[in-house]
Chain A
Amino acid sequence: QSVLTQPPSVSGAPGQRVTISCSGTNSNIGAGYDVHWYRQLPGTAPKLLIFGNNRPSGVPDRFSGSKSGTSGSLAITGLQAEDEADYYCQSYDSTLTGWVFGGGTKLTVL
């Protein structure tokens, strides 16, 4: 049981916009800690996709992150086949004094 809650799966057609939610509590996202997002392709290590509301160099602006209250959200616009992957959210938890992750969301491009 993950501390942060994500939908197990989302899907969308090429070109569409999808969002992935990440629900936390007042000891993590609700306490003001940033939400980071990682993308994991099969058999590979997770890779940083979004940190807070920012993108690392090389990540297209089709990807964006936001936060409101105790939840964070990852939005992907102009969906492409190559976006098929597992996506994980992460935040800091002041009760655990460490990182917490979401359970991951599998994105399928129809």
Chain B
Amino acid sequence: QVQLQESGPGLVKPSETLSLSCTASGDSITNYNWDWIRQPPGKGLEWIGYMYSNGKTNYNPSLKSRVTISVDTSKTQLSLTLSSVTAADTAKYYCARRRGWLSPLEYWGQGTLVTVS
């Protein structure tokens, strides 16, 4: 049973950097492809970026200058950093797993709410 769990501070000050982690139980982070998705309160889903199992990353052009997705050195956690945050970055942040390049997001974490204030 794949379980994903996001973690990180629930409150970040404007202009600071948001840092989140995603832990996957039941399998190695490096065996799959991963995405970060966010959802502002009461709004729809926005793709942030992905990291493939080979380490390749790609980001939403609207966020590209501020976002980094990586895997920690122990290869047990996926990380997301978003710099220079504003109130517009307030959202629930989800990590999600998929198998292949165009595969759907098969497993999602429960999400973690980050408020910028």
Chain A residues with a Cβ under 8 A of chain B: 2, 33-34, 36, 38, 44-48, 51, 56, 88, 90, 92, 96-104
Contact = CB atoms under 8 A, between A and B. Distances in A.
Nearest to A99: B47
Interface bracket on B:
20 to 34
Nearest to A45: B108
A34 to B, nearest CB: 6
A90 B105 contact: yes
A97 B110 contact: no
B58 interface: yes
7 contacts: A44-B110, A46-B37, A46-B45, A48-B104, A51-B103, A96-B61, A98-B47
Given A2-B44, A88-B44, A104-B45, A99 B35 contact: yes
A100 B108 contact: no
